[in-house]
């Protein structure tokens, strides 16, 4: 009990000294004893005790109930009222402030201790419940965001699939091979979009459950990056160009290729997505001191400073993305994969100039 810090607010000196002595004998830490509502408010703001014993009838412009109201506006600290009067009007006013206890003077030592312990237990239970409710609200908000985003992201590719299938059904016999290929390509692309979205959601679910594991294997990192750039460049078409450079030797590097693919694919794809048509994305690879560094630079729209603090949160998208489609999951996935590698990621971005992400991973 010595860790429980109590503020006593009592304007009768003899009573105040008696309460202080009793509290100390019970093992409580009495931070201070004050005699007015104004002193009580100032002292709470300064030392923030765990509990306040507040006499209701105080001398001055405010009584203990008014002081408790003002304290509650700024500090979630439990208050127990002390009073020699138990009239109905005072009790009703006190009830409106939701006190954690009510002691009628004079009271016994055991009664004081029991009231304090019950108040502290109730306060702790309420805090735990409040935290649980806040966590539940946060999860519900995330679920709502996901449902809205997933609904939108699924609808587009599914519409394409449905339309292409109907066209093939009705006109397949008369279609040229080139037209058939076009529709089949649209179907394949749409199916791939849905698959990627589901993969993203599953990966975040694993990470949040602490089940995302690192499985490093020997890798020719230079060839891995070249193959990835070729794949992403093919998907981007001739409208964008990914310029890859490397400094150092990267054969037989121990790293998790699946997690690395998530990191680089999301960062390079984002760089392409938010760049102007005809834009260049620079992708650099370098290594030193048992670590490897990836640098992805674009000359796109940039990220507002106020968004950068929330950049790696699930479903968060920068305020300036406009109509550019996205789920808000990519950078969250990148951060989780980097964390599993015990690496670091940083961002440097200026509106209208571009963005550079730097990822550093330790070599095993």
Domain 138-208 sits in CATH at 1.10.287.130
Q: For residues 195 and 262, what is the distance between their CA atoms, to the nearest angstrom? A: 14
**What mean pLDDT comes out for the span 216-238?**
91
Residues of the chain with CATH 3.40.50.2300: 5-107
Residues of the chain with CATH 3.30.565.10: 217-362
Query: At 103, which helix (H) or strand (E)?
Result: strand 101-104
Cis? peptide before 362, omega within 30° of 0:
no
Q: How confident is the model at residue 127 (pLDDT cuts 50, 70, 90)?
A: confident
Q: Are the C-beta atoms of 80 and 52 separated by less than 8 Å?
A: yes
Q: Tell the CATH topology of 217-362.
A: Heat Shock Protein 90 (3.30.565)
Q: Are the C-beta atoms of 348 and 355 separated by less than 8 Å?
A: yes
Query: At 348, which helix (H) or strand (E)?
Result: strand 344-350
Q: How confident is the model at residue 79 (pLDDT cuts 50, 70, 90)?
A: very high
Total-model pTM: 0.54
Residues of the chain with CATH 1.10.287.130: 138-208
Which CATH superfamily groups domain 5-107? Response regulator (3.40.50.2300)
Of 107-111, 125-129, 317-321, minimum mean pLDDT range: 317-321
């Amino acid at each position: 009990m010595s860790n429980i810090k109590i503020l006593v607010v009592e304007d009768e000196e003899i009573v105040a000294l008696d309460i202080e002595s009793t509290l100390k004998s019970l093992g409580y830490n009495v931070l201070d004893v004050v005699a007015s509502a104004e002193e009580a408010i100032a002292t709470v703001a300064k030392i923030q005790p765990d509990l306040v014993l507040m006499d209701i009838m105080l001398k001055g412009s405010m009584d203990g109930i008014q002081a408790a109201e003002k304290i509650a506006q700024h500090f979630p600290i439990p208050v127990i009222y002390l009073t020699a009067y138990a009239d109905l009007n005072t009790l009703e006013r006190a009830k409106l402030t939701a006190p954690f206890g009510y002691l009628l003077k004079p009271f016994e030592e055991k009664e004081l201790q029991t009231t304090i312990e019950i108040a502290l237990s109730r306060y702790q239970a309420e805090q735990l419940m409040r935290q649980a409710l806040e966590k539940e609200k946060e999860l519900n908000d995330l679920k709502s965001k996901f449902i809205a985003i997933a609904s939108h992201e699924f609808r587009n590719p599914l519409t394409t699939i449905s339309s292409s299938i109907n066209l093939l059904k009705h006109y397949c016999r008369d279609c040229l091979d080139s037209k058939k290929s076009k529709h089949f390509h649209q179907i394949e692309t749409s199916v791939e979009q849905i698959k990627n979205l589901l993969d993203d959601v599953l990966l975040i679910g694993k990470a949040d459950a602490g089940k995302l594991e690192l499985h490093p294997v020997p890798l020719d990192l230079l060839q891995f990056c070249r193959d990835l750039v070729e794949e992403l460049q093919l998907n981007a078409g001739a409208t964008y160009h990914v310029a890859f450079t490397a400094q150092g030797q990267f054969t037989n590097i121990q790293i998790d290729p699946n997690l690395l693919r998530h990191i680089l694919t999301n960062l390079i794809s984002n760089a392409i997505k938010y760049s102007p048509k005809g834009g260049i994305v620079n992708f650099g690879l370098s290594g030193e001191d048992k670590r490897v560094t990836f640098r992805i630079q674009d000359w796109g729209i940039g990220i507002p400073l106020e968004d950068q603090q929330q950049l790696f949160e699930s479903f968060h998208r920068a305020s300036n993305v406009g109509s550019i489609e996205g789920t808000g999951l990519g950078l969250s996935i990148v951060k989780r994969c980097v964390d599993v590698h015990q690496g670091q990621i940083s961002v440097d971005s200026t509106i209208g100039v571009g963005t550079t992400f730097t990822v550093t991973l330790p070599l095993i």
